[in-house]
Amino acid sequence: MARSDEVDIKESKMVVPLNMWVLISNFKLAYNLLRRPDGTFNRHLAEFLDRKVPANANPVDGVFSFDVIVDRETNLLSRIYRPAEGEETHVNIVDLEKPVTAEVLPVIIFFHGGSFAHSSANSAIYDTLCRRLVGICKAVVVSVNYRRAPENRYPCAYDDGWAAVKWVSSRSWLQSRKDQKVHIYLVGDSSGGNIVHHVAMRAVESGIEVLGNILLNPLFGGEGRSDSEKRLDGKYFVTIKDRDWYWRAFLPEGEDRNHPACNPFGPKGKNLEGIAFPKSLVVVAGLDLLQDWQLAYARGLEKAGQDVKLLFLEQATVGFYLLPNNEHFSPVMDEIRNFVSSDRFVG
Amino acid sequence: MGSYEQPSAGGGASSNGSSSSSGTRPAEMDGLLAGAGYKVKAAELHQVARRIERLENVMVNSAADISHLASDTVHYDPADIGSWVDTLLTELNQTVSLPCDLLELPDLPTCPLLDETTTLDNRWVVGQNDQSHHSLTPQQQQFQQLTVVTSMEENSGIRLVHMLMTCADSLQRGELALAGSLIEDMQGLLAHVNTSCGIGKVAGYFIDALSRRIFAAGTIGTGSSSSYCTGSPSEDEVLYHHYYEACPYLKFAHFTANQAILEAFNGHDCVHVIDFNLMHGLQWPALIQALALRPGGPPLLRLTGIGPPSPDGRDTLREIGLKLAELARSVNVRFAFRGVAASRLEDVKPWMLQVSPKEAVAVNSIMQLHRLLGSDPTREPAIQSVLTWIRSLNPKIMTVVEQEANHNQPRFLDRFTEALYYYSTMFDSLEACSLQPDKALAEIYIQKEICNVVCCEGSARLERHEPLAKWRDRLTEAGFRALHLGSNAFKQASMLLTLFSVEGYCVEENEGCLTLGWHSRPLIAASAWQAAPEYEVA
């Protein structure tokens, strides 16, 4: 192997709180066991190891959740998180899909991470994150349980994301009072961030309005090896080798990493000039080896005249948003809140 | 101002003083990791981190194909990061030195129950701290949990649910006239709703159950309204069989229990299985065959089957026993059967089972324990005495499978609500298996269950399902401790589901227990237990 076999564990331990280090390292090791060299994936063990939580229609910390079947054909489920009104401790079943009463209510369609292969909408880490987003943004969150690789390659995840957007935009109970429209924001981390971009493209092409995209440490790549990949390989939980594995698992067989799914502004990418693409907030962690690709993405949007805000967090690692006990969490959540609220006070 | 949590390691202090005795609070779990589904004591973070580092070094330095090795390991309790890492360290350390060609073993052909795990260390990993699950986040308040999977498309679906709830509510408040008129309205509305799936499908059965309850209001608890709900034993057996064929719940139960029993019987030459509800003995041929093929040869197997007395002078239990004996003989397993006829489980006394001290005992309860929860205020609940005598047998293992639902809440409306969503999910799953010819009778089987939950009260209400979290507490208090069903059982169960070729079923691991559900809603939970040694039986 090209990279150094000395695992720089001490370095990663110094930049994150200990419990976060334990959490992310645990994922790293578990995921090592699940990826087979022949490209197959130990799904049974993955599901066994994944910590899941059920939906809970009783409010906990002001948020309740329930699962919906968005598409029976593909068994596509999504978990909906709503803020509880007032001090209610028990939500009447009938009120799960009660129409929203706010003048303007952001509806966040959330795509969890996991490099297209891991995690689910009901994974504990993502259930927790979505609940936080409800509280912080005063939004409804719809977390999509999209189909995963390698069993379901491109474009399944995008198809599922698109199905969810169509479903959400057609729910009358999610419409803001002000304009009888659903105010949709797409938010995702890692592979979820990648899905956000591609689903937004479909929305634009089909005329469904998406008000904004938020990409947290999005998964992008390309055939060349960027500087950041070479510099940070293996240093902060992630290796080039494992990234390559996930692209081989997701992309159509025989395709390389310049496929537009992986490299939207690469040689096979689409030109976004003149398109009514939603405004974007791109969050990049300075210790993520993919940062050069993520920065290239933000630049690509900028060059195409799109509205993009880049948030570069020098000392952040992958997964920093999973636990709140680090210095990056609050500022990022503040930015997210402002991003989805900016149309609230327009007269 | 946001709802950001305090960056502390001790945020998840156990709120449950717990009914168990002595004063020492369990050491505090790291609250943030608990929110992510992991159990790590705050004070042990450093230790766990060191073990992770060691594991990583071993993995990096191992020439072996880690994924192949590690997937043959049986994993237990993934929530406990420390012990999970240890299991792997043990596994990898002991195999790192093997010559390379031994590591290229092809995948063994799958033979359920015989897929002998290659753990070099066959120990059960027992939950270290029986109260640990109480220190999990409020999100995991399972007693109050209400898990709903819905696909309400049309307004009439929503209205129907609204009316069902209103009807149940008026019933609860004794307003029978109002409840009755709502029944009529609902029957009218039913015509406009999609009755092939979801709420529409099951609404009809609930409307039916409610009307039985209303129109028999003067006779609740006396048994006459419940006559529909509890049929004759032979009727029940027929319906049971169709339910067994039409959907995977019972098969999952049998399969998972057998796997655990097989492992518990390892190394024992005399084994005794006590089945709390023999029915047609559908669970046992697989176990008999697995024991026959056990390396080292089969043990002497005794099976004691409990069931209701048969009418007309037949001895159904004995007939089933004879069939099983024939099968055992054909595979050279020494086998003895005994039937214990009892119309209620609480009528069974341990001496009837004739347990010998030399044998390893497995107690198998598939959806029976909840029937013992009926409250008669004048005596000790039957569940207590039954659990006590089970424990006195000192079984090697007790396998328990129960419906994962909260159908025994004190308030009728709460039970009704929970049942509405539970059974609509179950009917949905049945609908997906629509090619099975047994579906119609399977639906009647489920319908009777619904009827019992909704119409009956007192001693007639037998279907008192309680969720896994409650059973954990009950069994722990009664002096049992959990044996963890591992990743091997999980994998076998998942593979069983593929036989049904229906997408939508999901097997999940839940603190050492396995649940089978539909569309993310667990519907049935399987767990394994043994007598806790420290417990003093009064």
Residues of B in contact with A77 (CB under 8 A): 149, 519-520
A182, A189 Cβ separation under 8 angstroms: no
Residue A19, Cβ density class (10 Å: 0-12 exposed, 13-18 middle, ≥19 buried)? buried
Mark yes or no for CB contact B32/A324 under 8 Å: yes
pLDDT by residue, tens only, chain B of 538 residues: 333 333 333 333 333 333 333 444 457 999 999 999 999 999 999 999 999 999 988 887 775 667 666 667 888 889 999 999 998 888 877 654 433 333 333 333 333 333 333 222 222 222 223 333 333 344 344 445 677 777 665 677 778 888 999 999 999 998 988 999 999 899 888 887 777 777 777 898 999 999 888 887 655 444 444 455 566 777 888 888 889 988 899 999 999 999 999 999 999 999 999 999 999 999 999 999 999 999 999 999 999 999 998 887 778 899 999 999 999 999 999 999 999 999 889 899 999 999 999 999 999 999 999 999 986 767 778 999 999 999 999 999 999 999 999 999 989 999 999 999 899 899 988 887 766 677 888 989 999 999 999 988 888 889 999 999 999 999 999 999 999 998 888 988 998 888 876 788 999 999 899 999 998 899 999 999 999 886 554 4
B300, B270 Cβ separation under 8 angstroms: yes
Query: Among residues 160-199 of chain A, which lie with CB inside 8 Å of chain B?
Result: none
The phi and psi torsions of A230 (rounded to 5 degrees) equal -70, -40
Mark yes or no for CB contact A56/B147 under 8 Å: yes
A345, A217 Cβ separation under 8 angstroms: no
Q: Which of A159, A160, A189, A288 is catalytic?
A: A288
The CA–CA distances, whole Å, from B488 to A151, B74, B230, B297, B466 equal 21, 6, 37, 22, 26
Query: Cα(A40)–Cα(B261) distance, rounded to whole angstroms?
Result: 32
B512 touches chain A (CB under 8 A): no
User: Nearest Cβ partner of B151 from A60, A68, A132?
Assistant: A68
The whole-number pLDDT of residue B375 equals 67
Which residue in chain A is spatially nearest to B488 when comparing CA positions?
Answer: A45
CA B393: distance to chain centroid? 22
Query: Cα(A136)–Cα(A334) distance, rounded to whole angstroms?
Result: 8
A3 touches chain B (CB under 8 A): no
- Which segments in chain A show pLDDT lower than 50? 1-7, 346-347
A294, A286 Cβ separation under 8 angstroms: no
Locus of tokens 């995209």 = A213
B484, A86 Cβ separation under 8 angstroms: no
Q: What is the mean pLDDT of chain B?
A: 80
List, for residues B477-531, the tens digit of each pLDDT value.
999 999 999 888 898 899 888 887 678 899 999 989 999 999 889 999 999 999 9
A47 touches chain B (CB under 8 A): yes
The whole-number pLDDT of residue A180 equals 94
Locus of tokens 């709460």 = B414
A25 touches chain B (CB under 8 A): yes
b vs e for B64-86, b when ≥16 Cβ sit within 10 Å of the residue's Cβ? bebbbbbbbbbbbbbbbbbbbbb
Query: Cα(B40)–Cα(B33) distance, rounded to whole angstroms?
Result: 7
Mark yes or no for CB contact B75/A60 under 8 Å: no
The phi and psi torsions of B318 (rounded to 5 degrees) equal -65, -40
Mark yes or no for CB contact B490/A44 under 8 Å: yes
Locus of tokens 């690469």 = A266
Mark yes or no for CB contact A135/B59 under 8 Å: no
Tokens encoding B65? 């194909």
Tokens encoding A281? 């907030």
Q: How many C-beta neighbours within 10 Å does residue B156 have? A: 16
Tokens encoding B217? 């209001």
Q: Is the dihedral of CA B9, B12, B13, B18 positive or negative?
A: negative
> H or E stretch including A128?
helix A124-137
Please report the DSSP string for A223-240 in residue order.
SSPPHHHHHHTTTSS--H
The whole-number pLDDT of residue B158 equals 79
Mark yes or no for CB contact B5/A62 under 8 Å: no
Query: Among residues 294-323 of chain A, which lie with CB inside 8 Å of chain B?
Result: 322-323
Residues of A in contact with B10 (CB under 8 A): none
A95, A61 Cβ separation under 8 angstroms: no
User: Nearest Cβ partner of B165 from A54, A93, A329?
Assistant: A93
Query: Cα(A310)–Cα(A316) distance, rounded to whole angstroms?
Result: 14
Sequence-distant (≥ 6) Cβ neighbours of residue B448 within 8 angstroms: B228, B229, B230, B231, B236, B239
Q: How far is A104 from chain B (nearest CA, A)?
A: 19
- Whether A190 sits among the annotated catalytic residues: the reply is yes
CA B54: distance to chain centroid? 36
A125 touches chain B (CB under 8 A): yes
Residue A93, Cβ density class (10 Å: 0-12 exposed, 13-18 middle, ≥19 buried)? buried
Residues of B in contact with A13 (CB under 8 A): 49
Query: Among residues 34-93 of chain B, which lie with CB inside 8 Å of chain A?
Result: 35-38, 40, 45-46, 48-49, 52-53, 55-57, 59-61, 65-68, 70-71, 75, 78-79, 81, 85, 88
Strand, coil or helix: A295: helix
Residues of A in contact with B32 (CB under 8 A): 19-20, 323-325
Mark yes or no for CB contact B150/A21 under 8 Å: no
The whole-number pLDDT of residue B80 equals 94
A107, A169 Cβ separation under 8 angstroms: no
ipTM (interface predicted TM): 0.92
Q: How far is A273 from chain B (nearest CA, A)?
A: 37
Query: Among residues 15-44 of chain B, which lie with CB inside 8 Å of chain A?
Result: 30, 32-33, 35-38, 40
Query: Cα(A283)–Cα(A298) distance, rounded to whole angstroms?
Result: 9
User: Nearest Cβ partner of A135 from B3, B9, B146?
Assistant: B3
Nearest CA to B88 among B63, B54, B64, B115? B54
- Whether A242 sits among the annotated catalytic residues: the reply is no
A11 touches chain B (CB under 8 A): no
Query: Cα(B140)–Cα(B16) distance, rounded to whole angstroms?
Result: 13
Mark yes or no for CB contact A25/B7 under 8 Å: no
Query: Cα(B252)–Cα(B241) distance, rounded to whole angstroms?
Result: 14
> How would you write B299-352 as a 3-class SS string?
CEEEEEEEECCCCCCCCHHHHHHHHHHHHHHHCCCCEEEEEEECCCHHHCCHHH
Query: Among residues 327-356 of chain B, which lie with CB inside 8 Å of chain A?
Result: none
Tokens encoding A138? 């005063």
Rg (CA), chain A: 19
Mark yes or no for CB contact B149/A51 under 8 Å: no
Nearest CA to B226 among B463, B453, B460, B465? B460
Mark yes or no for CB contact B145/A77 under 8 Å: no
Query: Cα(B494)–Cα(B417) distance, rounded to whole angstroms?
Result: 30
Residues of B in contact with A326 (CB under 8 A): 7
Q: Which of A190, A191, A226, A280 is catalytic?
A: A190
The whole-number pLDDT of residue B66 equals 74
Q: How far is A223 from chain B (nearest CA, A)?
A: 26
Query: Among residues 159-198 of chain B, which lie with CB inside 8 Å of chain A?
Result: 161-162, 165, 197
A14 touches chain B (CB under 8 A): no
Nearest CA to B344 among B222, B460, B442, B476? B460
List, for residues A255-292, the tens digit of each pLDDT value.
999 999 999 999 999 999 999 999 999 999 999 999 99
Tokens encoding B378? 């004048």
* Interchain CB contacts (distance < 8 Å): A and B: 205
A35, A106 Cβ separation under 8 angstroms: no
Residue A125, Cβ density class (10 Å: 0-12 exposed, 13-18 middle, ≥19 buried)? buried
Question: Diameter of chain A by CA atoms?
Answer: 59
Mark yes or no for CB contact B491/A34 under 8 Å: no
The whole-number pLDDT of residue B137 equals 42
Query: Among residues 371-430 of chain B, which lie with CB inside 8 Å of chain A?
Result: 417, 420-421
User: Nearest Cβ partner of A68 from B35, B61, B150?
Assistant: B150
- Counted residue by residue, chain A has a size of 347
Question: Which one-letter amino acid corresponds to residue B5?
Answer: E
The whole-number pLDDT of residue A342 equals 78
Residue A23 DSSP class: H
Mark yes or no for CB contact A325/B68 under 8 Å: no
